[in-house]
Structure 1
Amino acid sequence: MEKYNPSVIEKKWQEIWDKLNLNKAVDFDEKPKYYCLEMFPYPSGKIHMGHVRNYTIGDVIARFKRYTGYNVLHPIGFDAFGLPAENAAINAKIHPAKWTYANMDYMLSQLQKLGFSYDKDRIIATCDPKYYKWEQKIFIEMFKRGMAYRKESEVNFCPHCQTVLANEQVEDGKCWRCDSEVVKKTIFSWYFKITDYADELLEDIKLLEQGWPSRVLSQQINWIGKSEGAFIKFKFEKSDEYLEVFTTRPDTLFGVTFVSISPKHPKVKEIVKDKNILDYVEKMIVDLDIKKDYDKEKDGIYSGINLVNPANGEIVPLYIANFVLMEYGTGVVMGVPAHDQRDFEFATKFNIPKKIVIYREDLSKDVTTWKSSFVDSGFLVNSGEFNGLQNELAKEKIVEHLASKNLARKAYQYKLRDWNVSRQRYWGAPIPIIYCPNCGVVTESIENLPVELPENVEITGFGGSPLAKVESFVNTTCPICGAKAKRETDTFDTFVESSWYFLRYCSPDYDKDIFDKQKVKYWMDVDQYIGGIEHAVMHLLYARYFTKVLRDLGYVESSEPFKRLLTQGMVIKDGAKMSKSKGNVVDPDDIVNTYGADTARLFILFAAPVDKDLEWSDEGIEGSFRFLNRLYRLIANYAFKVKDAPLQGTLTPRIKELLYEINSCVQKVTNDIENYHFNTAIAKLMEFVNFLYSFNPEEDELGYFKEALEKLTIMASPFVPHLACELWEMLGHSEIVFSQSWPKVELEYATKDTVKIAITINGKLRDTVETTKDADQKEVEKLALNSEKVKKHLEGKEIKKYVYVKNKILNIIV
């Protein structure tokens, strides 16, 4: 008998699958549709084990759904723009496009070798002008609807390299390339008004509660960060001008003993005249930009200016503090040290008084003895007419009171900020904007799209955007008046491409618009999306936002893109995530070349539940390989014997037992796959193989044994598709295994005909016996009395009577 040879088997079947185009999705098919999608990869050069896990999970789901009667869309593509391609251009002197396309070709060959059932006719690359042409159109429509705008913003800037740096390129406040101190620079950038959708993004989370992990939804809720509170005016001590704070705790207003303002607040330079203070503020800003570590060391300085607490008229100092963020609220916060821990620590450091305004009986009335702030519920004290009120009730009453004096207004605030989509990079989709001396800021005309990247460009990493130096790209004409004009040289953040790619898969070759609306209507929503939880608040939020934007632009009917989300765990080795720096990377190519793709797939699914981290194990890989060898030998041993064996003869107890084991396996594996418990499904298949080895069929049992082998092969095929195809062919079938239907549970054989009866003597368990279901009492008594264990306990005793509960217990009274 030939040995299991995965390299030969897998190459053979990959060629057959490719020739048959087995995985082609059919638009508008009569079958119910099922859209299964894994997050597409960045073409970094090679896929890693995290990719293998992600894509194997999706592949099993897609294959199972095809078996169960669905028209499955299971596509793949590449998130192909990004900074690594520019780094390659600098370091290896290779054009980003050449580097990217070479990587895509290699990764596609890896994906094919792993046996993933992707529709080869729907591969997309976001760096293809045929793709980003339509992204540019989306931007133009958003711009015309007021959904996109331009404003000044701060960026990381290296004075030596004369270029903007991504956050990832700033290491301990220094440029990753030249080690110069990084500074903040204000430049114009393009933004999407995602904040207009903040409430809907929050509200629609309820639509996802049944299909998305709760921790992803929690992260999105926290990222959007909606807070109910009030804007409150603190007037300057010596003028009617004021600073406005946003607070979620108006119930603590009487406890304000200072106010803090962000060092970056424009008012600081306007109201502070002392040069020493301003110098200190500049130092604070530099430290903030470099460290971005607000929580560890709270710093500040008294501004020399006082404000008036609108609740009680008390004078409070204004501090300039490093923990106040310009990005949230108004950039000014009220300090209540007795009831906010951050304020407590700041007040302690700067000897600012603390005042109790919310009290509970178990608290000390001497605030100087407190080791931390009191932030729980209680009743108001030292709060004038509001004394004695429960603090939650007091919130609204205090705001109403101040609103009547035009000193407060109820409001909501969000942590979410509009999305800066400008990148001063070459390898990205050009933003289709033109600056005309006559018409101002205008969009490129639709008929001139795509605005393509120029090929002849020098990428050095120095001196700003590479596109700005390409005169043939920069210099253009205004599409409105025809005057000489300049192009925008920023490119889109790569998260823009990944915010709508799942829609383009529905009609990847459509050249008349962004996508074919009817095909999108047929395929969307994505039924199952699979990817890492690290994308919870960036990609997944942006994809939800883009879907709502495209709905409002009239392109889609859906409000949410993904019905169900599965976030797989990481692949770790030696207790840490695989990474080159840790030296614990396992190359998928090495595993496939040594053990075969099916072994890699089997191990990656068997080693852990899909949502848990998976600890890599060389022993586990070898164990998976041994099982596949065992499976191969089982069918190879019997393939010829069972080839023409008919189902015949009476259903003997042995055949009934075989039918029970078949149906038990079908039931368990089906349920486990449907619930994504792939590890326990595989464990059941292993048990079934063990049973079949022990069965040793007689001649007249071979027909039923063949049925067992066939159903085993079908159930194994989503996990190990190459081997399953080979085994199916060995069993005498000319058609491919994936043309079959998934086995159904035959209920009449799903339960055993035999039961185990407990035998007790005077209520104490002495043995169990197995007999036919519904056996009469006399038959059970006979079995019990023949038991050696029962005989031992009956020696020298007189049986008084038997008490029998059918199918459960026989109690012998002695």
Structure 2
Amino acid sequence: MKYDFTAIEKKWQTKWKDEKTFACQTGEQDKPKFYGLVEFPYPSGNGLHVGHARPYTAMDVVARKKRMDGYNVLFPIGYDAFGLPTENFAIKNHIHPAKVTHDNIANFSKQLHMLGYSFDWDRVVNTTDPGYYKWTQWIFLQLYKHGLAYKTTMPVNWCTSCKCVLANEEVVEGVCERCGSPVIRKEKSQWMLKITAYAQRLIDDLDDLDFIERVKIQQKNWIGRSTGAEVTFKATTGEDIVVYTTRPDTLFGATYMVLSPEHALVKQWLDAGKLANADEVVAYQKVAASKSDLERTELNKEKTGVELSGVKGINPVNGKEIPIFISDYVLSTYGTGAIMAVPAHDDRDWEFAKKFGCEIIEVVAGGEDVQKAAFTAKDDTGILVNSDFLNGLTVKEAIPVITKWLEEQKIGHAQVNYKLRDWVFSRQRYWGEPIPMVLCEKCGWQPLPEDQLPLLLPEVESYEPTDDGESPISKMTDWVNTTCPCCGGPAKRETDTMPQWAGSSWYFLRYMDPHNDKALASPEALNYWSPVDWYNGGMEHTTLHLLYSRFWHKFLYDIGVVPTKEPYHKRTSHGMILGEGGEKMSKSRGNVVNPNDIIEQYGADTMRTYIMFIGDFEKAAAWSANGVKGCKRFLDRVWNLATDQEHTGDEYSKVNEAAVHKAIKKVSEDIEAMKFNTAIATLMALVNDFYANGASRGDMKALLLMLSPFAPHMCEELWEMAGYGGQVCLQPWPEYDESKTVAATAKMAVQVSGKVRANIEVPADAADADIVSAALAEPKIAKLAEGMELVKSIVVRGKLVSLILKPKA
């Protein structure tokens, strides 16, 4: 019988959809719950690609097995549909972004159905749906009311093409993560979210989570906790200059200071005419403003800067006057925007000091010439020198001593610092959630009353970003002009919109209760489904979405909305799929694989099986057309085995029993460990056994149950044809007997004088002497052994027995 995958797949996709096979109910008390989550896609015009298919298929395999294990499974999907790509497409093609989004979602949904994913389609969310973003706006208002959303003017990353502000996480190697255009720095009034208030908890709570180690490491490094001290230096003009240092023990070696070009004191001194080289300073500030934070802090770049002529700093531990520079390697957004420089013990400071002729004083003995290279103590045992009352102490001993002294002198204190910056939350674009705030000249910024949510996006004729950097919405005066909810006087709405990360920071909660119009989700649903049991997503989102959503969830926990302090119990990640030859897939290379083409030619089950067989799930893997064909041949073999041969007996056949039990154990463990490639290899080996030995109905039943998460359409069809009853996806997962995973007998090769002469089958637990006797009794070996005596025998259990014979004397 022909394997007509097109008809079979359409049949079962329709049946699953019509019968809502994968719909789940909140609160099924007779089953344990399992919430499996994939990162919902951005519905671009290009449609689904194999980069989506790899993680989606993986989590679908897990979800299908969990159902068969008896879990009440929530496996949802939705669309992260606000954002710049849709808006840019709308501008270019003169189509409203709402229509672009609608059409793209329709295409994505069609493709996801084609791949047979077991999503609960009754729970689909769309971040652009007013019924959804009402609650995104509601969360923002709660953040504002609790002091975690605020507006401030600050230097921001500005994309010269997208014409909007980017968070630090959205700037990659000095260019916009999305469009690749240069990013510059400019001053702008922005809404900020105070994620830094949660910095320590975001680190500490990782210890209790089942996240892969590289995810934990990336998050900890991005948050960047350090311990040290804040120290107050004086300027010769009278102002305090506060610096943060992780090495207060080296204060006696501080021979110059560096401020960020944007430091408030620089502007103050310029305005007051205190700087003799003002033109040089202003020119340097302009150059620094054109660079991203990444460019400015690149360790290997040449050090640049300008000394502030007319102002000096005073080292508080010895009263020495030291020069003050501005340099772009100091950021206003980290620490205090000012540093003390100790060139004898920091490579960057040493390079700067050498270039600008600053003094270099050794304060930690190292046995090296600090005039030729900086010496940095590799541990806490270095001995302090040239440091007055710290001399003779180790670094470890000196740090608390100097910190206490600073506190006693009231010029410093211990300080914990983080690299993490508050989240820049404004975007000067149209296609995003309106920020529900109004500005009143009398009352200042006021939140929109919650009963007026959602605040809908206005209809605009042009989505073009404005040349002055304001949102296109700013031109909609009828929408902008409103009344103050506090005093009733005239006010103006905020025209910036939220970033795309807003809607994705809580979508996993909405899946639990997607149609609720009274709350983002009911307490009943939140208590039942929380937390997400297993979340798989890309490593590129570790310091973006994953960090942001953990922050929002912790805040919602603090205000009593959600029952758990963390949103996700387990987080795994996947490697990219590369083009043939190992190059990254791109249109320019012409190596992009369209899932539609693979499905049309080979079927969705082949696509699913191959994409799980392609290699180690956590690592990048190269696409192979031959590999696809190989998986199609495997499914053809399963089909032919099931339809062309007669199978009798509902139990496992004796000859295959051990192989079946071993396969059940291996596939079960591999799915849980995301070793999908070796699970499929195990099933391929089992099919080989069935072809060699024949297979009972019981054998075939086990095979279809294990293969069904990978190739669900074909397995459903074969299950139905065999008359096993029900749908295979709703059957219990097969169990294995550990004692039966070991074969009762073992086949062994028999070597005589180094050459294989025969094969024997012996009990698996046979003694070596018995194995040798069985080998000698084998007719071919017995004939060879006539007139010979056994000199030596070697038994490699389960594999071979080697006999060395010689003529009898």
Give TM-score scaled by structure 2 length: 0.91
Provide the rounded CA distance (Å) in 2 between the counterparts of 1:183 and 1:752: 68
Counting aligned pairs with the same residue, the percent is 42
Post-superposition offset of 1:242: 2.7
Provide the rounded CA distance (Å) in 1 between the counterparts of 2:179 and 2:586: 21
Partner of 2:337: 331
Question: Residue 340 of structure 1 is aligned with which of 336, 346, 369?
Answer: 346
1:390-410 per-residue CA deviation (whole Å, 9 max, x = no partner) reads 112211111212322222211
Moved more, 311-320 or 408-417: 311-320
Contact 1:43–1:78 (8 Å) recurs in 2: yes
* Residue identity matched to 1:123: V
Question: Residue 465 of structure 2 is aligned with which of 444, 461, 464?
Answer: 461
Post-superposition offset of 1:72: 0.2
2:304 corresponds to 1:299: yes
Provide the rounded CA distance (Å) in 2 between the counterparts of 1:53 and 1:158: 32
1:325-358 per-residue CA deviation (whole Å, 9 max, x = no partner) reads 1111111111111111110111111122222111
Provide the rounded CA distance (Å) in 2 between the counterparts of 1:184 and 1:588: 41
For residues 400-439 of structure 1, the aligned pairs below 5 Å read 400-439=404-443
2:357 corresponds to 1:351: yes
Change in Cα spacing, 1:514 to 1:812, as seen in structure 2 (3 Å) is same
Post-superposition offset of 1:44: 0.7
Provide the rounded CA distance (Å) in 1 between the counterparts of 2:173 and 2:219: 27
Contact 1:457–1:470 (8 Å) recurs in 2: no
Change in Cα spacing, 1:175 to 1:398, as seen in structure 2 (3 Å) is closer
Contact 1:162–1:462 (8 Å) recurs in 2: no
Number of residue pairs matched by the alignment: 788
User: The residue matched to 2:590 in structure 1 has which SS?
Assistant: coil
Partner of 2:720: 729
Provide the rounded CA distance (Å) in 2 between the counterparts of 1:162 and 1:750: 60
Partner of 1:285: 285
Post-superposition offset of 1:742: 0.7
Change in Cα spacing, 1:188 to 1:777, as seen in structure 2 (3 Å) is closer
Change in Cα spacing, 1:138 to 1:775, as seen in structure 2 (3 Å) is closer
Query: Which runs of 5 or more structure 2 residues have no equivalent in the other structure?
Result: none
1:528-587 per-residue CA deviation (whole Å, 9 max, x = no partner) reads 101100001111011111111101121111100011011111111132322223332111
* Residue identity matched to 2:588: S
Contact 1:598–1:722 (8 Å) recurs in 2: yes
User: The residue matched to 1:297 in structure 2 has which SS?
Assistant: coil
Partner of 1:43: 43
Contact 1:147–1:193 (8 Å) recurs in 2: yes
Partner of 1:530: 536
Post-superposition offset of 1:778: 8.0
Question: Residue 754 of structure 1 is aligned with which of 745, 753, 758?
Answer: 745
Post-superposition offset of 1:385: 2.4
Contact 1:173–1:291 (8 Å) recurs in 2: no
Contact 1:609–1:679 (8 Å) recurs in 2: yes
* Residue identity matched to 2:8: I
Change in Cα spacing, 1:408 to 1:170, as seen in structure 2 (3 Å) is closer
2:261 corresponds to 1:263: yes
Question: Residue 660 of structure 1 is aligned with which of 658, 663, 666?
Answer: 658
* Residue identity matched to 1:374: T
Partner of 1:368: 371
Provide the rounded CA distance (Å) in 1 between the counterparts of 2:620 and 2:552: 31
Post-superposition offset of 1:240: 4.8
For residues 586-665 of structure 1, the aligned pairs below 5 Å read 586-638=593-645, 641-642=646-647, 645-647=648-650, 655-665=653-663
For residues 504-523 of structure 1, the aligned pairs below 5 Å read 504-523=510-529
1:503-547 per-residue CA deviation (whole Å, 9 max, x = no partner) reads 010000001112111101100100010110000111101111111
Post-superposition offset of 1:766: 11
1:78-126 per-residue CA deviation (whole Å, 9 max, x = no partner) reads 0110011211221000001000111001100000001111101000100
Provide the rounded CA distance (Å) in 1 between the counterparts of 2:757 and 2:375: 65
Contact 2:162–2:179 (8 Å) recurs in 1: no
For residues 776-795 of structure 1, the aligned pairs below 5 Å read 780=771, 782-786=773-777
Partner of 1:23: 22
Partner of 1:66: 67
Provide the rounded CA distance (Å) in 1 between the counterparts of 2:376 and 2:798: 64
For residues 694-713 of structure 1, the aligned pairs below 5 Å read 694-696=692-694, 705-713=696-704
Change in Cα spacing, 1:524 to 1:93, as seen in structure 2 (3 Å) is same
CA-based RMSD: 3.2
Moved more, 470-479 or 252-261: 470-479
Post-superposition offset of 1:63: 0.3
For residues 29-428 of structure 1, the aligned pairs below 5 Å read 29-30=28-29, 31-45=31-45, 46-155=47-156, 164=164, 166=166, 184-208=185-209, 211-236=210-235, 238=236, 240-271=238-269, 273=273, 277-292=277-292, 293-294=295-296, 295=298, 296-304=301-309, 305-360=311-366, 363-364=367-368, 366-370=369-373, 372-377=374-379, 378-428=382-432
Provide the rounded CA distance (Å) in 1 between the counterparts of 2:558 and 2:519: 16
Contact 2:159–2:166 (8 Å) recurs in 1: no
Query: Which runs of 5 or more structure 1 residues have no equivalent in the other structure?
Result: 698-704
Provide the rounded CA distance (Å) in 1 between the counterparts of 2:587 and 2:241: 51
Change in Cα spacing, 1:707 to 1:301, as seen in structure 2 (3 Å) is same
Provide the rounded CA distance (Å) in 2 between the counterparts of 1:766 and 1:175: 66
1:665-723 per-residue CA deviation (whole Å, 9 max, x = no partner) reads 111111111221110000000001111111146xxxxxxx1111111011100001111
User: The residue matched to 1:735 in structure 2 has which SS?
Assistant: coil
* Residue identity matched to 1:196: A
Provide the rounded CA distance (Å) in 1 between the counterparts of 2:75 and 2:276: 64
Partner of 1:702: none
Post-superposition offset of 1:602: 0.7
Change in Cα spacing, 1:375 to 1:299, as seen in structure 2 (3 Å) is farther
Moved more, 132-141 or 775-784: 775-784
Question: Residue 559 of structure 2 is aligned with which of 543, 548, 553?
Answer: 553
Contact 2:186–2:289 (8 Å) recurs in 1: no
Provide the rounded CA distance (Å) in 2 between the counterparts of 1:40 and 1:803: 59
1:40-65 per-residue CA deviation (whole Å, 9 max, x = no partner) reads 01111201111011110110011000
Provide the rounded CA distance (Å) in 1 between the counterparts of 2:180 and 2:727: 59
Provide the rounded CA distance (Å) in 1 between the counterparts of 2:747 and 2:398: 68
Provide the rounded CA distance (Å) in 2 between the counterparts of 1:312 and 1:448: 61
1:605-638 per-residue CA deviation (whole Å, 9 max, x = no partner) reads 0011111112111111111111111111111112
Contact 1:569–1:610 (8 Å) recurs in 2: yes
Contact 2:649–2:698 (8 Å) recurs in 1: no
Provide the rounded CA distance (Å) in 2 between the counterparts of 1:81 and 1:748: 55
Contact 2:790–2:803 (8 Å) recurs in 1: no
Moved more, 52-61 or 251-260: 251-260
Question: Residue 441 of structure 1 is aligned with which of 419, 439, 445?
Answer: 445
Provide the rounded CA distance (Å) in 1 between the counterparts of 2:304 and 2:768: 86
* Residue identity matched to 2:79: F
Provide the rounded CA distance (Å) in 2 between the counterparts of 1:83 and 1:131: 19
Change in Cα spacing, 1:390 to 1:174, as seen in structure 2 (3 Å) is closer
* Residue identity matched to 1:750: T
Contact 2:183–2:291 (8 Å) recurs in 1: no
Moved more, 678-687 or 444-453: 444-453
Contact 2:171–2:183 (8 Å) recurs in 1: no
Partner of 1:686: 684
Provide the rounded CA distance (Å) in 2 between the counterparts of 1:20 and 1:178: 46
Post-superposition offset of 1:33: 0.4
Moved more, 284-293 or 78-87: 284-293
Post-superposition offset of 1:177: 11
Change in Cα spacing, 1:235 to 1:726, as seen in structure 2 (3 Å) is same
